[in-house]
Amino acid sequence: MGESKPKSTGVWPTVKPFVNGGASGMLATCVIQPIDMIKVRIQLGQGSAAEVTRNMLKNEGFGAFYKGLSAGLLRQATYTTARLGSFKILTNKAVEANDGKPLPLYQKALCGLTAGAIGASVGSPADLALIRMQADATLPAAQRRNYTNAFHALSRIVADEGVLALWKGAGPTVVRAMALNMGMLASYDQSVEFFKDSLGFGEASTVLGASTVSGFFAAACSLPFDYVKTQIQKMQPDAQGKYPYTDDLDIPEPDPETGEVCGIVILILSGDWRSFQSE
């Protein structure tokens, strides 16, 4: 009879998922930072992808595509580390509770939703710094914040707006992360089953195809919340220290015949739902 493999003990098995998650996320950020910059500029109404790229190269130079990289790396070091690490721990606990049996899709989805919420809550300050640094060049010269790096941005936000301002836009950030994880997990599992069992793809082709489909659905599920998050996080307080949520968001007035659903969603996600109730 073969002996069972001894279970790893010590700190490393617990820390390993967090380290691997953070390192992989930071490496990915170095690759996708220019694409993310273009996405944010599009969300801020700077034109199409081609127009944004052309204008940035002409007016700001190639280095502008990596503006906010320090904040992007810090975001991955916090958000992705917490998200992937907590997802691994949650799924391991769930497998133990299932007596070692594979998890059904709904349990994987619940673990993903929870891990996404945890990661987004931890990474929200760095995400705020990233959006502001990426959006800074779109503001009038007198309104630009001119953050030099992520830590300068965080210290300025605390000094100018208070500690709680670090979690400005945390509502849509958390919902976005939950939607992203939900779309990613559900579509990946279903795609693997389709490519492998129905189409007879090999291992490499299955992984590539399922990853492509998963990425598409993750983006599709999270993009509405990502748009709201970007709009809220780039705002500046007025003279009274209040944020003009509905005025600053580039969203049309709700149709009286269909109700004020859009306004309610924006105000709830921005944490300003009480002001809506009082109107």
Residue 193 in this model has a pLDDT that exceeds 90: no
Each residue of 162-177: b (16+ CB within 10 Å) or e? Answer: eeebbbbbbbbbbbbb
Res. 239 pLDDT band, cuts 50 70 90 = low
pLDDT digits (tens, 9 = 90+) for 150-188: 999 999 999 988 999 898 888 888 888 888 877 776 677
| Cβ atoms of residues 171 and 99 within 8 Å | no
pTM of the shown model = 0.67
Number of H helices and number of E strands within the chain? 11, 0
The lowest-confidence range among 41-55, 94-108, 140-154, 155-169 is: 94-108
Give the span between the Cα atoms of 222 and 229, in whole angstroms. Answer: 10
